């Protein structure tokens, strides 16, 4: 690799080493790690003090993906962005943008609001299709994922359509429903300490489900109720993230903003209403003022286009 650099064709490495440059970078850099003032440059943020090897690697992954998309598709490419409900990478990126890094950043699970959804066992379910859509998942992994995805779908169908009356459930030594209603295998998996192994005597056909899927299916059903309750919050998050704040917006021209709010917005340069909502010190009223200003500007632009 060194020999491919002009001027170093004959260079010999006597001893390999490593250096870390720790330079503070202010928040507000685009979530795709693109440098706003130089759109042809993609920064992987090794300059956020220094955030640890795994955190830096995750930032480099996002930067590399977006650099490849930019190179392949030009300036009009669609950035690859993960939000707080997609992955811990999304949580980290959002934290760095909206809160900065006054000290070295570490990715603790406690930073995520939706950590029941962001589990290690379901990372393939959450992210493989996203990777396939942008071309960063190889054919071997794609084949493996397609097969596993089909197996999961078949297994869920079996679990949700395998139903027994309450008496049969009780006779099998499983928790009997108090309302006397029939229960599916999937219903029983929502209960603590009940796994697929415990319900096999009641539904022997479930032995067809591969043992490698057991723990993943059990976790999916165990936490499904909690995740469903969080879905409204996730939907609201994604609605807010869908409303972008134009890069050229003049916050000084937004009516109803205090001097403090204008200063926060200028300093952090949020890219979406969702980002603005999470900025420390910015009131909900200030976010609404920005949203109204954006809609007013969009309406005026449409009127001018008609004329």
Determine if residue 108 is left, alpha or beta; phi over 0 gives left, psi from -120 to 50 gives alpha, anything else beta: beta
Separation in Å, CA 71 to CA 75, 144, 280: 8, 29, 35
Vertex 47, ends 64 and 30: CA angle to 5°?
A: 55
Asked if pLDDT for residue 139 goes beyond 80, the answer is: yes
Q: How many CB atoms lie within 10 A of CB 231?
A: 12
Q: How far is CA 8 from CA 13, 15, 182, in A?
A: 11, 16, 74
- CA dist list (Å): 46 to 96, 112, 216, 294: 12, 22, 35, 33
Average predicted confidence (pLDDT) for the chain: 85
Please give the CATH number for the structural domain made up of 243-306.
1.10.150.570
The mean pLDDT value for 174-180 works out to: 83
Q: Residue ranges per domain, the chain?
A: 22-112, 156-233, 243-306
Question: DSSP strand E in 166-301: where?
Answer: 183-184
pLDDT digits 0-9 by tens, 195-232: 999 999 999 999 999 999 999 999 999 999 888 888 88
For the 156-233 domain, the top CATH level (class) is mainly alpha
Percentage of the residues of the chain whose pLDDT score is greater than 70: 88
Residue 36 pLDDT level (bands cut at 50, 70, 90):
very low
- Give pTM, 2 decimals: 0.74
């Amino acid at each position: 690799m060194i020999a491919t650099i002009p001027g170093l064709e004959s260079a010999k490495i006597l001893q390999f080493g490593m250096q870390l440059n720790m330079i503070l970078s202010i928040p507000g850099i685009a979530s795709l790690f693109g440098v706003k003032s130089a759109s042809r440059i993609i920064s992987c943020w090794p300059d956020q003090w220094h955030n640890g090897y795994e955190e830096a690697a995750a930032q480099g992954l996002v930067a590399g993906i977006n650099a490849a998309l930019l190179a392949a598709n030009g300036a009009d490419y669609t950035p690859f962005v993960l939000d707080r409900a997609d992955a811990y990478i999304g949580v980290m990126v959002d934290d760095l943008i909206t809160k900065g890094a006054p000290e070295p950043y570490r990715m603790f699970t406690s930073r995520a609001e939706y950590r029941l959804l962001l589990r290690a066992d379901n990372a393939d379910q959450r992210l493989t299709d996203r990777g396939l859509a942008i071309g960063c998942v190889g054919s071997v992994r794609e084949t493996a994922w397609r097969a596993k995805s089909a197996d999961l779908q078949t297994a869920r169908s079996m679990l949700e359509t395998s139903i027994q009356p309450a008496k049969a459930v009780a006779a099998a030594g499983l928790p009997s429903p108090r309302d006397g209603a029939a229960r599916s295998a999937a219903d029983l998996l929502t209960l603590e300490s009940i796994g697929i192994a415990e319900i096999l005597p009641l539904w022997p056909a479930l032995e067809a489900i591969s043992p490698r899927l057991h723990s993943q299916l059990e976790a999916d059903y165990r936490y499904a109720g909690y995740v469903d309750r969080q879905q409204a919050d996730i939907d609201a998050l994604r609605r807010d993230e869908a409303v972008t704040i134009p890069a050229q917006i003049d916050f000084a021209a937004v009516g109803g903003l205090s001097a403090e709010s204008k200063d926060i917005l200028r300093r952090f340069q949020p890219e979406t209403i969702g980002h603005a909502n999470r900025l420390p010190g910015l009131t909900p009223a200030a976010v609404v003022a920005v949203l109204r200003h954006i809609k007013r500007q969009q309406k005026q632009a449409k009127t001018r286009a008609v004329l």
